[in-house]
A and B are shown apart, each in its own frame.
Chain A
Amino acid sequence: MRLIQKIGEWLDLRLQLGASIRETSKHPVPRETASWFYVFGSAALTCFMLQIVTGILLALIYVPSAGEAWNSLQTLNHGISLGWFIRALHGWGSNFMVAIVLIHMVQVFLFGAYKFPRELTWIVGVLLLLVTLGMAFTGQIMRFDQDAYWGLGIGASIVSRVPVIGPWAVNLMLGGPIIAGATLSRFFALHVFIVPGLLIAFVGVHLLMVLKLGINEWPMPGRVVRRATYMQEYRELTHKQGIPFAPGAVWKDIVFSGFILLAIAACAVSFGPFGPGGQPDPTIIQTAPRPDFFFLWIYALLSFLPPSAETPILLIGPAVGIIVLLALPFFAGEGEKSWRRRPIAVLTILLMAVALGTMTHLGQHTPWSPVMDAWSSEPIPSQFVRGRTALERQGALVFQAKQCHNCHSLGDRGGERGPALDRVALRLTQDQLIRQVIQGGGNMPAYGKNLSPAETTALVAFLTTLHPATQVPARDASRGVAFGAGETAAGR
């Protein structure tokens, strides 16, 4: 014990750090901030440190070469003792880090911590969010599989839409004319040098400001922030009623960080590493590329934007979003901090959560994509063919063979790109069905050139049977007039 103390004293005489570390750890914080709501910032930092350690461990094996990266990931997963676990820790650590950074941001926003004098802390925090997402995106490319390859293609297609400089920007992003070795090398440099360097620098500034300006006090409804008086009020909160950061508040940070590390390890053990998926071979086109969880909402958004508005929204939307976040402390730098008195702030968070949650859910299920193999793997449920005529059954065959099932579901099976056809005969008359099949429209391709008259007749005969037995199918009333009273219903 005495030896350790002596070594400590020897080091401190030369480093001269002990006093300032003691002072920093004992600095007074408002009593109420020793709260479980205040643990997310430190937990994000813990995640980041785990990412650094596991990232360096992975770099011992990983080969950042387009030709070898995928094989080196396989070696990590299968060939090296516990390589799969380090990959899993890094992958799950990434997910936890993004999630905790987002939770931290919501907490800081709802507690009004971005207001005077912590505007710059918030701005650096926004930059930290961006570089964290940058790490997540470039990390997804390190897992150099089919998703990474086509994800780069999506990125290049978006970048190419920038006016004037787009085509050059694509070459700059890819490091050449196509996605290849140079692309992976530069994303590797981004993922292990450039973005982490920015992250470390921003974390340093962020932490320094938290220490210099003090942690945000617990917001009380009615305790309004004013530039003229705030510093004095905060000083009283900390120095008269405050408690020392260590051990008063820090023990909760430590416990929560430990819990998060445990949760990451538990996920890593239970669920294992992410991928890699198929080989990054662009000639293997049987693939449905999809981004990682935190980018699924963008993926969903991209399928819903109308074509004409897509480019402007893609290019201007993110810029507007970032500017709004950066500008927030300048138009709301004073006033109420408590979320109890800020209904619009609470509603904004709820709206964002619902929107992002919905988009992410849609991104997981991709109802806008044809189910590429439904025509050959999803049979038509038997109730739709039982008791039908030969012509109608022939139509059911056409329905399968011409891949209608890829976009249209029957009995909840098949694609959801187009409307479900279980009750289509209630909506469309025979003539309308023929027109829709031949001419398409409403986001459906025209099949006129691709179906013989006999096939069309059979298909439409089948479609007109798609209605509940208890309901009468749609019919064209004028037909009864044209063909005489005897012929009423079109089809059946």
Chain B
Amino acid sequence: MSEENGMSRRVMLVKLGILFNAIVGAVLAVPIVRFLFSPVTREKKFGYESWLSLGGLEQFPTGQTRLATYRNPVVNSWDGETADIACWVRNVDGQTFQVFAINCAHLGCPVRWFPQSSLFMCPCHGGAYYQDGSRASGPPERGLFQYNHKIEDGKIFIRAGEMPTPGRAANTKSGGAMCA
């Protein structure tokens, strides 16, 4: 075997070695990528959302809007108080309810209800909404996010579990029509 052949054999072995590592790397990449994307893929398996009770209807007097809180359905023991989420419940006429997300439709800051002027106001960039959740003024492009809700056994339930954001509001209804 000539010197030249020996070199090319070794070069080929190096290349084979690199190829072997590339294959092993590719195989390893599959579980790594799946692990990394588990917050996204898990959604399909279990569904982040479920029906949650906000408590008895007696807490929400007719014609008023009250703050309610719930514990997020998907929790870890180390989530602490971050798993407690607030929302606004509006009892329109004793029969009809609206449940608004606490997050401003602009950039997610917590909106506050002012019963005297019947407005929701956002402390971050000055978004304001009417009592039915529709946009009143400021930078939001739309009304407040609303949770789907149902009344059962004298309690109000909402379908929740995911932070509402402007881009993924498909699961939450928009507030009333735009009227600025």
Footprint of B on A, CB under 8 Å? 65-68, 149-150, 153-154, 156-162, 166-168, 170-172, 174-183, 279-283, 285-289, 299, 302-303, 305, 307-308, 310-311, 368-370, 372, 375, 401-404, 406, 417, 440-441, 443-447, 449-450
Q: Enumerate B97-115 residues with CB–CB distance to A below 8 Å.
A: 102-103, 106-112, 114
A172-B39, A282-B102, A368-B125 known; A156+B119 contact, CB < 8 A: no
Contact of A288 among B106, B124, B137 (CB under 8 A): B124
> Which B residues between 22 and 52 are near A, CB-CB below 8 angstroms?
36-37, 39-40, 42-43, 48-49
Nearest Cβ distance between residue A405 and chain B, in whole angstroms? 10
User: B118-153: which residues lie under 8 A (CB-CB) from chain A?
Assistant: 118-119, 121-126, 128, 130, 136-141
| B95 at interface by CB-CB < 8 Å | no
Q: Which residues of B contact A280 (CB under 8 A)?
A: 80-82
A167 to B127, CA, bound (A): 23
CB closest residue in chain B, given A368: B126
- CB-CB under 8 A for A285 and B39, given A66-B79, A445-B119, A450-B118: no
Contact of B84 with A66 in the complex, beta carbons under 8 Å: no
Residue A178 contacts which of B123, B163, B180 (CB distance < 8 angstroms)? B163
Instruction: Give the CA-CA distance A403 to B128 in the complex, in Å.
Output: 12
Among A66, A170, A308, the residue within 8 A (CB) of B80 is: A66
Residues of A with C-beta under 8 A to B84: 281-283
What is B's interface to A at a CB cutoff of 8 Å?
36-37, 39-40, 42-43, 48-49, 67, 69, 72, 74-86, 102-103, 106-112, 114, 116-119, 121-126, 128, 130, 136-141, 161-163, 165-168, 179-180
Q: Which residues of A contact B168 (CB under 8 A)?
A: 160, 166-167, 170
Contacts of A162 in B (CB 8 A): 167
A residues less than 8 Å from B85 (CB atoms): 178, 282-283
Pairwise interchain contact A369-B126, C-beta atoms closer than 8 A:
yes
Given A160-B166, A172-B40, the answer on whether A289 and B124 have CB atoms closer than 8 Å is yes
Q: Is the CB of A302 within 8 A of B139?
A: yes
- Contact residue among A180, A307, A372, A447 (Cβ-Cβ distance under 8 Å from B76): A180
How far, in whole Å, are A168 and B163 apart by their CA atoms in the complex?
12
Q: Which residues of the partner chain B approach A444 to less than 8 Å between Cβ atoms?
A: 137
The smallest beta-carbon distance between B17 and chain A, in angstroms, is 26
Residues of chain B contacted by A160 (CB below 8 angstroms): 165-168
Cβ–Cβ < 8 Å partners of B39 in chain A: 171-172, 174-176, 182
For A282, list chain B residues within 8 Å (CB): 81-82, 84-86, 102, 110
27 contacts between A and B (CB under 8 A): A66-B78, A68-B80, A149-B82, A154-B107, A154-B109, A161-B166, A166-B168, A170-B163, A171-B39, A177-B162, A179-B163, A181-B79, A280-B81, A280-B82, A281-B84, A285-B67, A288-B123, A302-B139, A303-B125, A307-B139, A310-B141, A368-B126, A369-B124, A370-B128, A372-B123, A403-B119, A406-B114
Using Cβ atoms and an 8 Å threshold, which residues of chain A touch B74?
176-178
A380 to B165, CA, bound (A): 38
Q: What is the CA–CA distance of A342 and B82 in the complex, to the nearest angstrom?
A: 52
B119/A285 in contact, CB under 8 A: no
A287 touching B79 by the CB < 8 A rule? no
Contact (Cβ within 8 A) B110 A287: yes
B123: which A residues are within 8 A, CB to CB? 287-289, 369-370, 372
A11 to chain B: closest CB distance in Å?
A: 35
Top 6 A-B pairs, shortest CB-CB distance: A67-B80, A160-B167, A167-B168, A153-B108, A445-B136, A166-B167
A434–B167 Cα distance when bound, in Å, is: 38
State which of A161, A177, A302, A440 has its C-beta within 8 Å of the C-beta of B163.
A177
CB distance from A159 to the nearest CB of B (A): 8
Q: Complex formed: what's the CA distance from A289 to B104 in Å?
A: 12
Tell me whether B167 and A154 are in contact (CB under 8 A).
no
Contact (A181, B82) CB under 8 Å given A282-B110, A443-B137, A445-B136: yes
A307-B141, A375-B116, A445-B137 given as contacts; is B82 within 8 A of A179 (CB)?
yes
Specify which of B43, B78, B102, B125 is in contact with A177 (CB 8 Å cutoff): B43
* Contact in complex: B79, A171 (CB < 8 Å): no
Give the docked Cα–Cα distance between A440 and B130 (Å).
12
Q: Is the CB of A150 within 8 A of B119?
A: no
CA A485 – CA B130 in complex, angstroms?
42
Whether B79 pairs with A180 at a CB distance below 8 angstroms is yes
**Residue contact A440 to B180, C-beta cutoff 8 Å:** yes
| Residues of A with C-beta under 8 A to B69 | 283
Contact A450 B82, CB 8 Å, known A174-B39, A182-B39: no
Once the chains bind, are B165 and A279 in contact (CB under 8 Å)?
Answer: no
CB distance from B47 to the nearest CB of A (A): 10
